[in-house]
Amino acid sequence: MIRGVPKPEISPDFTIEDIHKIREWNHERRKGMTPEKADEDIRNGAERFKAYLSAPLDPAIKAEANRRMAEVRNSVKKSKEPIRV
């Protein structure tokens, strides 16, 4: 919980509703912040996210991601339906 605002529950599938929850959470967290403080908060979050992306990936997670991608590729090859993203 940050500033009395509980962190949103994110679904394993990461849906558009999750994006709305995160945006609403960030809006509530930043209420009352000066524009400078809000910019600082956004920049700090971006730096943490960049560090997260550049960190080495756990081999077990990488293997699971590769397995899931192979599943998706195989199901797309078998399907005649267009892919909708």
Q: What is the pLDDT of residues 6-52, one digit of tens each?
A: 889 999 889 999 999 999 999 998 998 999 999 999 999 999 999 98
- The pTM for the full model equals 0.55
How much is the average pLDDT of 62-77? 85
Distance CA 51, CA 57 (A): 12
How much is the average pLDDT of 56-84? 80
Q: For 11, what's the count of Cα atoms within 13 Å in the CB-facing half-sphere?
A: 9
Closest C-alpha among 44, 49, 16 to residue 30: 44
How much is the average pLDDT of 51-79? 85
Instruction: Check residue 72 and give its pLDDT.
Output: 85
